[in-house]
Amino acid sequence: MSQVELALDAQAALGECPRWNADDQKLYWIDINKFQLHRFDPDTASDEFLQFEEEIGCFAFREQGGFLLAMRSGYYLLDGWNTELTFISDPEADLEQTRFNDGRCDAKGRLFAGSYYPPKDYDGANLWSLDANKQVELIADDLLTTNGIAWSPDNSVFYYSDTPKHIIYACDYELDTGKVGERRTFCEFPHGKGRPDGASVDVEGYYWAALYEGGRIVRISPDGEIVQEIAVPARCPTMVAFGGEDMKTLYITSAGGRPDEELKDFPHPGGIFKLRVDVAGIKENKFPA
C-alpha cells in the first residue's frame, strides 16, 4: 500500500461527499459551508465548481445524467452541470435548525440521506429514504449527526453512524422493499480519539471510515473489528471514496478552518488526499429518476 498524498490543495471549509463518476473519470465533491459542488479531474489537476445559495449535504448521480441533491431546504434535481435546480420536496420543512448531511443511493436507487442538528441539546436529526417515485420515508428520528451511510456488497446490511455519539450502526436490510431492520452497534470509538464521519465499503465487505478530529481512517471487518488504521495528513478527515479506473484509489476529503497551531503537522486543512489500496471499492449507485 502506498502513502497518503495530497491530491488537491482544495482549501475547503468543509469538504465532504466525494463521489467517483466512472463515466467521465472525475471526482465530484462538495464544500458544505461554501455551498459548492465541485468536479475534480485527477489527470489535469483541474477543479471547477457550481455555486449555490445554501448548503448541499450530499448528492447522488442520476442514471439519465445530472444529480440529485439533498440541500438545506430539501431535495432537488439538477439535469446536468450548471443547469437549473428543480425542487422535489422537503421532509424537514418544519425543522428550522436542521440541514441534510450524509447520504448515498442503495442498489435500487433509493437515496438514504440523514440530517444534522447543530444544537445537539436533544436527538433532533433524522434519517430519510427517497425512492424513484419521489416518495419519502422516515427511517430513524433519534440522531444528532447522520453519517457513514453505506451497504454491504450483497446489500444485506445497511450501515450508518451518529458522529457525536461515536457509534457506527449496522442493520439487516431488504433491498427489494427498502426495509431497514433493528439497528445494532457495529463499532464504537472511545471519546477523544476521533469520531466516525463519512464512509465507503470495499468489494470484500470491509467498511472504511474517516475519523473526524482523529487524523486517520480505519478499515473495519464485517464483524466490526478494526483491522487497519491509516494516518492522514489532516486532523479532520471527513469521508472516503474509491475511484480510478480500477476503483483502487481511495480519495479522502477533509475540513478546513483549523487552529493555527495545527498547521505545522497538518499544513493542508481542507485538502483532498489520495491513497492507493489493495482492494477495490464498490461503484456508486445512481438515482433512477
Q: Which of 47, 102, 106, 197 is catalytic?
A: 197
Three-state secondary-structure class, residue 79: coil
Judge contact between 1 and 277, C-beta under 8 A.
Answer: yes
How far apart are the C-alpha atoms of 139 and 135, rounded to whole Å? 13
Q: For residue 197, indicate whether it is catalytic.
A: yes
For residue 31, give the C-alpha cell.
464544500
Helix residue spans in 37-76 (DSSP H): none
Judge contact between 217 and 209, C-beta under 8 A.
Answer: yes
Which residues are registered as beta bridge partners of 217? Answer: 210, 230
Judge contact between 19 and 241, C-beta under 8 A.
Answer: yes
Chain position carrying cell 469538504? 15
How far apart are the C-alpha atoms of 44 and 54, rounded to whole Å? 29
For residue 50, give the C-alpha cell.
457550481
**CA distances (Å), origin 174, targets 107, 146, 148, 185:** 11, 21, 19, 19
How far apart are the C-alpha atoms of 260 and 203, rounded to whole Å? 39
For residue 70, give the C-alpha cell.
439533498
How far apart are the C-alpha atoms of 111 and 120, rounded to whole Å? 25
CB within 8 A of 272, min separation 6: which ones? 6, 7, 8, 10, 12, 15, 18, 27, 29, 40, 251, 252, 253, 254
Judge contact between 86 and 115, C-beta under 8 A.
Answer: no
Active-site positions?
Answer: 197
